[in-house]
Structure 1
Amino acid sequence: MSEQCQRSDCPGSYEDMGGGELYCDTCGLAPVVSASGMISSPPTGMAAAALGSQHSGRGSAPSSRSSRSASSRRSVSGRLSRSLSGGTEAASRSVSVRTSSTGTAGSARGKLGAGLVSMPPVPRPDPRAAVLADPEVPERKRFCSRSECGAPVGRSRGDRPGRTEGFCTKCGHPYSFVPKLRAGDVVHGQYEVAGCLAHGGLGWIYLAMDRAVSDRWVVLKGLLDTGDEDALEVALSERRFLAEIEHSNIVRIYNFVEHLDQRTGSLDGYIVMEYVGGKSLKEIANERRTPEGRRDPLPVEQACAYGIEALEALGHLHSRNLLYCDFKVDNAIQQHDQLKLIDMGAVRRMDDRTSSIYGTVGYQAPEVAEVGPSVASDLYTVARTLAVLTFDFQGYTNVFVDSLPDPDHIEVFARYESFYRLLVRATDPDPGRRFASAEEMADQLTGVLREVVAIQTGKPRPALSTLFGPETKVVDDKLFPELTEAPSVLGARTARGAGPAPAALPAGGTVATAPLDAGAAALALPVPLADAADPNSGFLAGLSVSKPAELYTALQAAPVNSLELRLRRYRAQLELGELTHAAKALATLEAEYPEDWRIVWYRGLHSLVTGDHETAALSFDAVYDAFPGEPAPKLALGVCAEVLGQLDNAAEYYRLVWTTDPGFVSAAFGLARVLLAGGDRAGAVGALESVPEASIHFTAARVAAVRARLRGRRPAEWLREDLDAAAGQVERLADFGLDPARRERLATEVLGTALDWVLSGSPGGAPGPGTLTLLGSEADERGLRFGLEHSYRVLARLAQRGEERIELVEAANRFRPRTWV
């Protein structure tokens, strides 16, 4: 039995139109679905939204949906900030970040996929194959074309089919859904019609052949109703705007012609535009089906590639003072390796305050009905399209008409936090908190795409940031303190006889490493790039001093007391430890520039240096919200999570940064540090050994990897593979700049650990079958003792102080095995 329509003034009932899609057989509206997935009554105040849904049902239409009030809290509360104690207090302390359209330079990108993704090809089909055999507008999509009305028209009554032409019973306005052109008609003496391609928001769209220009295929776009002034104005506006636009991602307009309708005697206008063969994003999405027949969302990397191309096109329109207003899956076509915007009927000038606004419910920003479209509302539509493409977005036209589902319930959000944050910012209820430009959003979306591809392939996808410089240094590249003697002296056995039992390892097999200095880690984070428009930019770029005291003195000679100068001076104060002066300077900057993202970043640095780790985490979290494609905020959040004791979160952030960009070597050391603390020795070694040879930190990472293999090991463990690998690393490190003294120190650790292993007396403490040689020494007690003696004597010769030399010679004598000479 069919469900009764929810609308009190509609006698219809819902019918399945295929694919599980329900629509009323009278008003044509879809039912409102609750968050639980059940059909529910429309919530209070949804009358305007219902009217908007009518327009949505037939494509682009005038917006009449009221904006719904919503919270404008900026932070999306990532896994770190959500876990901070005092949830309400933490949320109230979250900071807001706004960006300027002048603060980000556009980055060059190549063809569809940004050089990062191999997109499924979409060949250009035979245009004739796209012609509809029986062009007809379904009854559920027939509505009055007057923007003030929008009532359903042309509906069937009992056994009587709905009329395709007539007058609206509500307002009396005429309507017609009959194609005005037929195959064989010649328009303007030049364009021979082949048939109908589709029915859009402004009427039928026809395929035609241009007989005057090499028989090229073109598209003729006509009006929905020549008697409707709004529709006519849209068509005329489209002609004016699109004649000015030339962009590879936007359909080209060739001509605007008129044709006399022999049947009605009316003179109809048609736009002649480029024929774009291929598939719309809607078709591409709908073709993906699971074995059960449900829609299979697009891979997130494919959707991101589409979004980047769309933003390129929108950015071009914005540069020409134009707004697109109605981006959605229907209005973009992939042809070969290119995406094109095809429906420009809603395009309007930014300063237009009089013409009708066209958009689609579920895609359109909530403020458009009250304040009109803007650059921010255009970017909103791109984010909504990405959401529709990447997961089964049930209820996006009603329940979630201006919000996103809980990320914990959406797989793609849970797996790709940066992608979720990008959508959250682009759809913020406050337009001022969205991305400032299409270029900025495209840059961040490209960064997110790099991250997604790196996660999926395991291959880094680094890129220069337009916002941050490289990390200033790598702190804690020595994970472990230097040992003055080999582990065997400190552990299981003394030089000649049984010694104390080995010290117990920390619970869970964790390894004690050098503690992280949060202040040093904060000052080693990447520095925001200076604004090139700042009056001191040239002066600051020319500074060659690096020591904080000298830099602070040099800054006094700056010609103007600009923001960039004050930020540089503030950082120098932090580095000099002048925390009182730095705190006052930061407070002044926050009062004068409350929403400059760099001030928020420096608040995080200051909080890390002074020990207020929760505030630091919230500050960096806000920067991550603003710039989800940047590695720097994630690296900073990794540091915060580590000092807060959240090792799992720290590992996730460090791994995310290191997987994407191996230029951030601090992330590799940080990942190794927290994995060791959590007992994952193999993971820590893998992180350290993944530092590439081209890095200046390669040697330090390999030294740390050797120690990660050996420190804190129980002699009874099976160590053969680790000892062999560690010895091999020590031998190879001489070719990478490891000085002789450090090489011999490392050798004593390898040989000392091996000696403990041999002397442990347990089943695992023996080399086993086969000969094992470590650094030129046989892996038995006698050979290892000789090896240790040799290393300590080499260290003694290299020692600079007499006392140190004596200690090293005594250590060599202790390890020397008994001999007759």
Structure 2
Amino acid sequence: MKCQRNCPGTIEDGYCDTCGLAPAKTEQPAKTEQSAQIAQTASAPQIAQKPTGKCRRDGCDGTIEDGYCDTCGLAPVDKAPQNTPKSQPQVPKQRTETQSSSRTTGTGALSTRTGGSRRGSGRTGSSRRFGSGLVEIAPIAKVDPASTLMANPEVPESKRYCAKCNNPVGRSRGDRPGRTSGFCPHCGESFNFTPKLVKGDVVGGQYEVAGALAHGGLGWVYLAVDLNVSRRWVVMKGLLNSSDEDALAAALAEQRFLAEVEHPNIVKIYNFVEHDGAGYIVMEYVGGKSLKDMLKQRRDANGGDADPLPLDQALEFLIEIMPAFAYLHERGLIFCDFKPDNVIQSGDQMKLIDLGGVVHIDDQEAAIYGTVGFQAPEMATDGPSIASDLYTIGRTLAVLTTDFRGYQSTFKETLPDRDSFEVYQQHEAFYRLVDRATRPHPDDRFVDSAEMQEQMLGVLRQVVAAQGAPKPAASKVFTGELRTDLKSDAPRWQDLPTPLIDLTDPAAGFLASITVTDPAEVLALLKHAPQETTEVRLRAMRAEIDLAARHGFFGDAQQARERFAAVDGQDWRLAWYDGLLALANQDWAAALSRFDAVWAALPGELAPQLAMGFAEELAGQHKTAAGYYDVVSRTDPAYTTAAAGLARCRLANGDRAGAVEAYQRVPGTSSAYAISQVGAVRALVRAHPVAQVDVKSLADAAALIERLEVERAQLAELRAELLEQALTSLRGGFKIPAAVLGGAKTGDTGEKDVRFALEDAYREMARAAHGSDKIRLVDLANAARPRTRT
């Protein structure tokens, strides 16, 4: 069934797979008397009466207000759906060719457009959660709308500018206050900064004005009461300067198409009315607090010094609003003027509240509105685009999370260095996220809002994990790690994840049928591919790299790489396989450079950080490598290679306890759990040039061995290593606790008991051995046995 909300999507499982909303009713919506008049005289959109009452969705006790539930945020249903799916992402419809064509980068950045890896960002399900649900966000308590009115509705002199030439107007001179109306001395354009409506005015015979709420770049905003619809509170926005043709055009544009915009995260447009020759847009009253208000409140509470939002909260706020951008962009609409002022938290939901700058992407004549410091640099020459909207989101993130001084002057089109702010230093992935969103060339930014939201989620998971609460999720562009050798935790580049197949590739089905793992066999099968596609070339390149690592000849792998680059030179996956090729060829610096490029393109992904950890460790940079491994294993403990790498690097730096902690991150349900526990034992037992063994670590190792569930021979081998080290320590004059012998023994032990225990361990190992190895172990057992009288 097709979605009927002016949306190309299809209803699946009770929800649209594009806009994420419940299906609209098929009946003709009732029009208010006022909207009927507008439809006849001004061709305004029809305004539907919204249902009210209790929400009937399972698990929701909200109330329907203005057509949406105030708890779950979804449209009402006649009957609660059965088995309503929980919040799950929906796959959007394929975009038109003009929207989904491959990008060309302007500064050598990597393209991340891979077709099938895209996922929708609409919210579905019966339960209401804020953003990603990863961060607890306190709802904003509802307040009396009348209490939000401006006591003195006046535009401050510092914000009075000519709408035509943007020069200051209405400024004071000496003791004479500035004019609130007059003519610009620079270009002669008239200006008027006084509100046209006062308390008690009735606009359009329906809306009684209560007063002014605010003033902005496009006009005064008034609070009013709808006399025809349950005396509900509404907001009316008029023109700041009614003689300004651009402002008038923006208002008319809103009248033409914004009444059709319907999304839970976007303020609803009810009507368009005229009064005394001026136009007013009537919209939903959204009681709450804007992100700008939050920053101001935090600054005031901090004695006037900036106090940015916590990073996890800021990310969660914008993740919550991203589906609204996806909704607008799918309909060819560009918001243009996003900034902290234009998004409000209302209850437990975020909403875009100012649609005055929204334009259609194909409208070449519309007036473009933006704000210095947020507006993309190409807006003046190339006009608005999806990329320019994503730029404003990135800039907003930077302003929300740092004391970003000079963002409208010195840094109006750039970012400060990463070292400028602690939040950037602590969370490099976040800095990379903001950096990619705000790159000067639009083609170097994120492909669309869905991709940016996915990367924001990845960064947020890293931030949350750093606070001690890992909440991992499967990547939509990478597989998990490919670890197969569970008897060793040595670094193997073959264990790294691999990019997922683009399911829209024509050869995806054929590639899925290839189940062999031997690279030579894979290459033989690829010769029968129905056509040589991007994914076929990628699979061939990976097989050639595997062969090169096996035989030490890299010519064929390099040729496969060049064939792919000739067609898909900007694909981020080329950089990924370049990194693998460099690792196989032991060129650590080149590997690090290519993996760094992948991370720059996909800042929320863990795979490139894991790969960078491998490259740094193999290059001997253990401290740097430990940083990458720490982020990866803390964020997603399923990356057991990261935990092993972190342990190795910590041990190399003399941190024996830290190495054990790293091994302990591996979940008990993982197939690598046993080898990680073995690694923890050996980290405690084995001597190291920096991390010398102490008797406490020997006791800790014995306790770990007691809990291990591995084969008896391996258990005996670990006991032998422990007891050999205990014997060495005894000879060095150290007292050894009896706990090293196993069990609940207390006090100290002597050399005789240690030797008997060591003999038993070697004999246990010998029982499972064969040939010369068995003889060697028996000899070791005999040598370990203490001398006794017979």
What TM-score does the superposition give when structure 1 sets the normalisation length?
0.79
- Which residue of structure 2 lines up, in the alignment, with residue 382 of structure 1? 393
- Which residue of structure 1 lines up, in the alignment, with residue 714 of structure 2? 742
1:411 and 1:366 map into 2 onto residues whose CA distance is: 27
- Which residue of structure 1 lines up, in the alignment, with residue 760 of structure 2? 790
Match of 2:357 among 337, 346, 360: 346
- Which residue of structure 2 lines up, in the alignment, with residue 308 of structure 1? 319
Q: Aligned letter for 2:780?
A: A
1:466 and 1:605 map into 2 onto residues whose CA distance is: 20
Q: 1:590 to 1:727 in 2, by over 3 A?
A: same
* SS at structure 2 position matched to 1:673: helix
CA offsets, 1:635-693, max 9 Å, x none?
11111111222111111111111111111111111111111122221111111122110
* SS at structure 2 position matched to 1:358: coil
Is 1:649 aligned to 2:624, yes or no?
yes
Cα shift at 1:771: 7.1
1:772 and 1:691 map into 2 onto residues whose CA distance is: 25
Q: 1:474 to 1:440 in 2, by over 3 A?
A: same
Q: Aligned letter for 1:779?
A: T
2:354 and 2:484 map into 1 onto residues whose CA distance is: 51
* SS at structure 1 position matched to 2:627: helix
* SS at structure 2 position matched to 1:218: strand
Match of 2:480 among 470, 477, 500: 470
Q: 1:399 to 1:810 in 2, by over 3 A?
A: same
Q: Aligned letter for 1:583?
A: Q
Is 1:732 aligned to 2:724, yes or no?
no
1:121 and 1:530 map into 2 onto residues whose CA distance is: 41
Cα shift at 1:73: 8.9
- Which residue of structure 2 lines up, in the alignment, with residue 558 of structure 1? 529
* SS at structure 2 position matched to 1:614: helix
Q: 1:475 to 1:655 in 2, by over 3 A?
A: farther
Match of 1:774 among 715, 723, 742: 742
Q: 1:634 to 1:202 in 2, by over 3 A?
A: same
Cα shift at 1:462: 1.0
Matches within 5 A, 1:103-142: 103-106=117-120, 111-142=129-160
Is the contact made by 1:175 and 1:225 (CA closer than 8 Å) also made in structure 2? yes
Q: Which moved more, 1:396-405 or 1:554-563?
A: 554-563
Q: Aligned letter for 2:452?
A: M
Matches within 5 A, 1:524-535: 524-535=495-506
CA offsets, 1:680-725, max 9 Å, x none?
2111111112211011100000001101101116999784432222
- Which residue of structure 2 lines up, in the alignment, with residue 549 of structure 1? 520
Q: 1:546 to 1:713 in 2, by over 3 A?
A: closer
- Which residue of structure 2 lines up, in the alignment, with residue 631 of structure 1? 606
Is the contact made by 1:741 and 1:798 (CA closer than 8 Å) also made in structure 2? yes
Match of 2:615 among 637, 640, 644: 640
- Which residue of structure 2 lines up, in the alignment, with residue 415 of structure 1? 426
- Seq. identity, %: 50
2:691 and 2:106 map into 1 onto residues whose CA distance is: 55
Q: Aligned letter for 2:134?
A: L
- Which residue of structure 2 lines up, in the alignment, with residue 689 of structure 1? 664
Is the contact made by 2:332 and 2:360 (CA closer than 8 Å) also made in structure 1? yes
1:428 and 1:570 map into 2 onto residues whose CA distance is: 31
Cα shift at 1:524: 1.8
Q: 1:688 to 1:248 in 2, by over 3 A?
A: same
Match of 1:361 among 372, 393, 405: 372
- Which residue of structure 2 lines up, in the alignment, with residue 171 of structure 1? 187
1:175 and 1:776 map into 2 onto residues whose CA distance is: 88
1:300 and 1:815 map into 2 onto residues whose CA distance is: 59
* SS at structure 2 position matched to 1:581: helix
Is the contact made by 1:425 and 1:625 (CA closer than 8 Å) also made in structure 2? yes
CA offsets, 1:610-635, max 9 Å, x none?
12221111111111111110000101
Q: Aligned letter for 2:189?
A: H
2:314 and 2:221 map into 1 onto residues whose CA distance is: 27
- Which residue of structure 2 lines up, in the alignment, with residue 80 of structure 1? none
- Which residue of structure 2 lines up, in the alignment, with residue 287 of structure 1? 297
2:262 and 2:427 map into 1 onto residues whose CA distance is: 35
Is the contact made by 2:616 and 2:622 (CA closer than 8 Å) also made in structure 1? yes
Is 1:806 aligned to 2:775, yes or no?
yes
Matches within 5 A, 1:561-710: 561-577=532-548, 579-710=554-685
Quick check: which has more Rg, 1 or 2? 1
- Which residue of structure 1 lines up, in the alignment, with residue 73 of structure 2? none
Cα shift at 1:398: 1.0
Match of 2:233 among 214, 217, 233: 217
Is the contact made by 2:110 and 2:597 (CA closer than 8 Å) also made in structure 1? yes
* SS at structure 2 position matched to 1:793: helix
Is the contact made by 1:758 and 1:766 (CA closer than 8 Å) also made in structure 2? yes
Matches within 5 A, 1:467-506: 467-473=477-483, 478-479=488-489
**Long gaps (5+) in structure 1:** 1-71, 75-94, 262-266, 480-513
2:565 and 2:374 map into 1 onto residues whose CA distance is: 35
Q: Whose RCO is larger (CA < 8 A, sep 6+)?
A: 1
Q: 1:662 to 1:275 in 2, by over 3 A?
A: same
Cα shift at 1:475: 6.2
Is the contact made by 2:254 and 2:355 (CA closer than 8 Å) also made in structure 1? yes
Is the contact made by 2:312 and 2:463 (CA closer than 8 Å) also made in structure 1? yes
Cα shift at 1:107: 5.1
* SS at structure 2 position matched to 1:674: helix
- Which residue of structure 2 lines up, in the alignment, with residue 100 of structure 1? 113
1:774 and 1:699 map into 2 onto residues whose CA distance is: 19
Is 1:241 aligned to 2:253, yes or no?
no
Q: 1:566 to 1:658 in 2, by over 3 A?
A: same
Cα shift at 1:161: 2.4
- Which residue of structure 1 lines up, in the alignment, with residue 102 of structure 2? none
Match of 1:336 among 336, 347, 352: 347
* SS at structure 1 position matched to 2:736: coil
Match of 1:192 among 208, 212, 217: 208
Cα shift at 1:220: 0.8
CA offsets, 1:435-481, max 9 Å, x none?
010111111111111111111x22222111111011111668625xx
Cα shift at 1:272: 0.7
Match of 1:434 among 420, 441, 445: 445
Cα shift at 1:138: 1.3
Cα shift at 1:784: 1.7
Matches within 5 A, 1:421-460: 421-455=432-466, 457-460=467-470
Q: 1:715 to 1:134 in 2, by over 3 A?
A: closer
CA offsets, 1:466-498, max 9 Å, x none?
11011111668625xxxxxxxxxxxxxxxxxxx
1:292 and 1:189 map into 2 onto residues whose CA distance is: 47
2:783 and 2:539 map into 1 onto residues whose CA distance is: 55
1:439 and 1:534 map into 2 onto residues whose CA distance is: 20
- Which residue of structure 2 lines up, in the alignment, with residue 401 of structure 1? 412
Q: Which moved more, 1:714-723 or 1:596-605?
A: 714-723
Is the contact made by 1:241 and 1:347 (CA closer than 8 Å) also made in structure 2? no
Cα shift at 1:820: 3.4
Q: 1:101 to 1:804 in 2, by over 3 A?
A: closer
Q: 1:659 to 1:771 in 2, by over 3 A?
A: closer
Q: Aligned letter for 2:672?
A: H
CA offsets, 1:169-194, max 9 Å, x none?
33333322222211112222221111
- Which residue of structure 2 lines up, in the alignment, with residue 27 of structure 1? none
2:258 and 2:704 map into 1 onto residues whose CA distance is: 64
